[in-house]
Amino acid sequence: MLNSKARNALMCALSEEEYTKVHSFRSAKQMWDTLALTYKGFLEVKRNKLSLLARKYELFEMEESESIQTMFGRFQTIVNELSFLGRTYDNFDHIDKLLRSLPRKWRPQVTALRASKNLEKLSLEELIGLLKVHELKLQQDDARRK
């Protein structure tokens, strides 16, 4: 009788996907153990993935031949995955990280931005716009040299 009540309580609480995993078990203990094992594994995977993504965020660098748009797309992918897993950074952290990730040839622009703009109030979109303008100037300079 107690097993039936426990099974019923579990069945009522489960989503359809979870239900299909355990509906054939006759004992509530089997159901519970299977669910516990599934979610323990899920939490470990989530923790490991979060750790790897945080490391990827910290080590993020713009590649020498990469455009600002491509670099920002890669950065946003990392940020979105981190956010999905529950780790968020504030806007200033993103701006600071992006400025630190730029190659050496961008250093004068980074210094100018840090001196002239209030990075606390600058949006990520504004920063990317400013960097794209500078990228166009760099491309024009390279074209003139050639």
**Model confidence pLDDT, tens digit, residues 37-73:** 777 767 788 889 999 999 999 999 999 889 999 999 9
As a whole number, mean pLDDT of residues 86-100 equals 94
pLDDT band for position 110 (cuts 50, 70, 90) = very high
d(CA 74, CA 60): 9
Neighbouring CB atoms inside 10 A of 53's CB total: 20
